[in-house]
Chains A and B, each alone.
Chain A
Amino acid sequence: DTAVSQTPKYLVTQMGNDKSIKCEQNLGHDTMYWYKQDSKKFLKIMFSYNNKELIINETVPNRFSPKSPDKAHLNLHINSLELGDSAVYFCASSPPAGYNEQFFGPGTRLTVL
């Protein structure tokens, strides 16, 4: 009964491939997020999304795209993977705007070879 889950936990792939990371939350939250944590451990917001609005961090390449089939899921699609995309990706969720706590998933470690 994990609150925020991600699959896969580890992903190893070649440069140029297209891959997806799945995220699901069973908390009934309205807003979901993707964060990227690089090798230096900096944790940076990539997207925040609810059923009304997608907010994109302007530094995120357009090879990255969130897809939400329903309120409980926010998947991350990455096209034409590059070496620099290697990182740990965290999904998170929170109740409607203004809420103070975000609940994070366990992370997906992506390695691009």
Chain B
Amino acid sequence: DAKTTQPPSMDCAEGRAANLPCNHSTISGNEYVYWYRQIHSQGPQYIIHGLKNNETNEMASLIITEDRKSSTLILPHATLRDTAVYYCIVRASNTGNQFYFGTGTSLTVIP
């Protein structure tokens, strides 16, 4: 699975959009980009995933660059409950289903 690089921490004002970047310059053609988050003392929670196209669901949007070497997770209106560590993971869908979590970005939403 390709390695990802994320900033260790970010702050965001409550109600504003939180944009979390992720670099995955060695991503392969069959690897998807996944985002999970982990709120303090809880298990990780799936947010969104994509292959090439931008994706949106009720939690977030995922923007993947055309060359697929980087992506951005967007939380459109951050709330205090969005304070968490956000993990960007790239994985091929046929690799035994394990997710390899990196260090993630610790997002703090400020009132």
Q: Which residues of A contact B (CB under 8 A)?
A: 4, 31, 33, 35, 41-45, 48, 55, 57, 90, 92, 94, 97-107
Q: Give complex CA distance A90, B99 in Å.
A: 13
Q: Which residues of B contact A (CB under 8 A)?
A: 32, 34, 38, 41-46, 49, 85, 87, 93-94, 96-101, 103-104
Q: Give complex CA distance A42, B42 in Å.
A: 14
Contacts of B85 in A (CB 8 A): 41
* Contact A106–B43 (Cβ < 8 Å): yes
Q: Give complex CA distance A106, B39 in Å.
A: 11
**From A106, which residue of chain B is reached at the shortest CB distance?**
B43
Q: Give complex CA distance A31, B98 in Å.
A: 10
**From B46, which residue of chain A is reached at the shortest CB distance?**
A101
* Contact B41–A45 (Cβ < 8 Å): no
- Shortest Cβ distance from residue A60 to the other chain B in the assembled complex, whole angstroms: 12
Q: Which of B45, B49, B99, B103 has its CB near the most chain A CB atoms (within 10 A)? A: B99
* Contact A98–B93 (Cβ < 8 Å): yes
Q: Give complex CA distance A107, B104 in Å.
A: 19
Which of A41, A48, A100 meets B49, CB within 8 Å? A100
- Shortest Cβ distance from residue A59 to the other chain B in the assembled complex, whole angstroms: 12
- Shortest Cβ distance from residue B1 to the other chain A in the assembled complex, whole angstroms: 11
Which of A41, A48, A100 meets B98, CB within 8 Å? A48
Which of A100, A102, A106 meets B32, CB within 8 Å? A100
